[in-house]
Structure 1
Amino acid sequence: QETLNLDPLLRQTDKPGIALAEAEKLKLLAFLRTLNDKKFITDKKLSEQ
């Protein structure tokens, strides 16, 4: 979505955002799905409390 505070790097094409090929989108989604380790984020040993 076009907004006044949109970084100029995200306005380089006709559509605002990051232009990704379909293969790049799939790789990005695969990476993001690896960031869901609930055991890690709830480990008391890694907590500040």
Structure 2
Amino acid sequence: MVLVRSELLSCWPYRCEELEVELHRVGLQTELSTFDLEAENYMVVASKV
């Protein structure tokens, strides 16, 4: 079974590198990231390790 969670944030509390570290800390791995320093926002898809 696949559970999908999505959140739309009005602010970005983590820098991209910090978010990846926190995802790994809770047992998730980054599958996809649209991070671009020039972009206003980005999307990260993570899955359970």
* Same structural fold, with TM-score higher than 0.5 when normalized by the shorter chain: no
TM-score, normalised to structure 2, is: 0.31
- Which one has a bigger Cα radius of gyration? 1
* Structure number with higher relative contact order (C-alpha < 8 Å, ≥ 6 residues apart): 2
More strand by share: 2
More helix by share: 1
